[in-house]
Amino acid sequence: MLLLLRSVRRDKSVRSKKENHPDTLSNKLTRREALSTGAKIGIAAGVAAVVAGVGGYFGGLASVPAKEVVKTIKETVTQTVGGAGIFGKGYRFSYVTHGGEENVFWNSVMLGMKEAAQLVGADAVMLRPKKEGDLAQESANFESTIAERPDGIVVPIAYLELLPLVKKATDAGIPVIVHNIDAPNAEDRIKAGGLSFIGQDLDFAGYFLAKTLSKYFKPGGHALILIEGPGQVWAEERAKGIIQFLKEYNTTYERLDVGFDLALVESRTSAYLQANPQTTAVFSVGYTAPIAGKVLQSMGRKPGEVAIGTFDLVPLVIDGIKSGYTTIAIDQQPYLQGFLPIIQLTLMKKYGLSAWDVNTGNAIVDQSNVSKVEELSKKGYR
């Protein structure tokens, strides 16, 4: 029952998101497409009616879930059939990720994916595990989608165990583009068949964050690095870059393993900062360093006393920068990581062009530009 309620609620949020981006192109559907769409909906509705009918007939109680079935399947199908650009019409692309359904960062990637798909008229879905970073489910999703043979797969290499699946897809003739997280050694990804990498150069981004933040704290101090995904490639790569700069800058550091659970981050960070008041800078490899700002505020410290640098423009980070406690954030522009793979794959399919690496960036956000960025971030574009 609980499961059901949660799903329904989530379903609603999906729906309202769709309403923000109405499917204005659908009236341009050709007749054939309209027919096949109609047929698909027909079959779906038919089966739904049978399932619902069986339930209703048997229990009478089933009328509510039955209605949900019909609604859901119709939506599934309309969403699946997608909008109707012409350039990449008929292509089907699958995104496979470790970013759980609750991870806000991946919602921006998904928005980029959806809008690119609408633009070229392709169909794209993003397969996300129920739990953040669930490798077993991610690899099961990956294998399932390979079996379905889409025209292209887009995947971040959060775990090295995904590389054999990249190879399996490539061997099956499906082009694979890696986004968001590259293999620590790009050679491995290329050998497995990953055609290009679209995302941040993570190691460099860590270095860049630390170097940029160094304007706000003196050498010879002490830094705290929050690790949201200990052992995961993206987290370790960024941490490596940060640590490399700190060594050059003659700053001592300590790693603190945290997750994305903000309450946990707060309790650990608070304990650490109480015990180590000499800390001059706080970094996070994910987006949770602003929590350190809140902790410092409650400890009575002033904004700017401790420099805080973080990644990714989630609401938490934007609020942190506006409050003055979070100094800078590096934006890796997730929208692009969702948008560009479809453009590349479509060009590859259509004109045989090759894929190309894109560094989606090291855009710095601080108090000077935060309000402008905030507007775009609210809409999911930054």
Partner 1 sequence: MTLNARKLTIALLQRKEISITIISLITISFFYSLQPKFLSPANVDVLLKITPELGIPALGVTLLMIAGEFDLSVGSVFAFTSLFTTLLLEMGVNPWLSVLLALGACSLIGLSHGLITVKTGIPSFITTLGGLLVWRGVALVITGGLPKFFAMPTEFTNIMAGKITTFLHAQMLWFFGIAIIFLLILERHKFGNWIYSTGGKKDAARAMGINTDKVKIICFILSSFTAGLGGIIQSARLNQALPNQGEGLEFDAIAAAVIGGTSLFGGAGTIIGTIIGEYLSRIIENGLIIIRAPSYYFRLYIGIVVIIAVIINLYIQRRAIRIRG
CB of 192 to partner 1, least distance (A): 16
CB of 163 to partner 1, least distance (A): 12
Distance of CA 2 to CAs 6, 7, 11, 240, Å? 6, 9, 14, 42
Question: Is the Cβ of residue 192 or residue 307 nearer to partner 1 in the bound state?
Answer: 192
CB of 220 to partner 1, least distance (A): 29
202: closest CA among 236, 160, 244?
A: 236
CB of 53 to partner 1, least distance (A): 11
CB of 59 to partner 1, least distance (A): 4
Coarse DSSP helix, strand, coil percentages of the chain, rounded to the nearest 5 percent: 55, 15, 30
Question: Is the Cβ of residue 230 or residue 361 nearer to partner 1 in the bound state?
Answer: 230
On whether the CB atoms of residues 176 and 193 are closer than 8 A, the answer is: yes
CB of 123 to partner 1, least distance (A): 7
d(CA 231, CA 254): 16
Question: Is the Cβ of residue 237 or residue 331 nearer to partner 1 in the bound state?
Answer: 237
Question: Is the Cβ of residue 17 or residue 301 nearer to partner 1 in the bound state?
Answer: 17
CB of 84 to partner 1, least distance (A): 16
Question: Is the Cβ of residue 150 or residue 320 nearer to partner 1 in the bound state?
Answer: 150
Burial class (CB in 10 A: 0-12, 13-18, 19+), 212: middle
Question: Is the Cβ of residue 141 or residue 377 nearer to partner 1 in the bound state?
Answer: 141
On whether the CB atoms of residues 363 and 333 are closer than 8 A, the answer is: yes
d(CA 93, CA 345): 8
Which helix (H) or strand (E) segment is 96 a member of?
Answer: strand 92-96
Residues at the site binding partner 1, with contacts judged by CB under 8 A: 1, 3-8, 10-11, 14, 40, 43-44, 47, 50-51, 54-55, 58-59, 61-62, 65, 68-69, 72, 76, 79-80, 92, 94, 101, 123, 125-136, 139-141, 143-150, 159, 161, 172, 230-232, 257, 259
- If one counts every other C-beta atom within 10 angstroms of the C-beta of residue 31, the result is 7
Q: Which residue has the tokens 């008041």?
A: 277
Q: Which residue has the tokens 């096949």?
A: 36
Token output for 265: 């981050």
d(CA 34, CA 15): 22
CB of 139 to partner 1, least distance (A): 7
Question: Is the Cβ of residue 59 or residue 304 nearer to partner 1 in the bound state?
Answer: 59
Burial class (CB in 10 A: 0-12, 13-18, 19+), 266: middle
Question: Is the Cβ of residue 258 or residue 316 nearer to partner 1 in the bound state?
Answer: 258
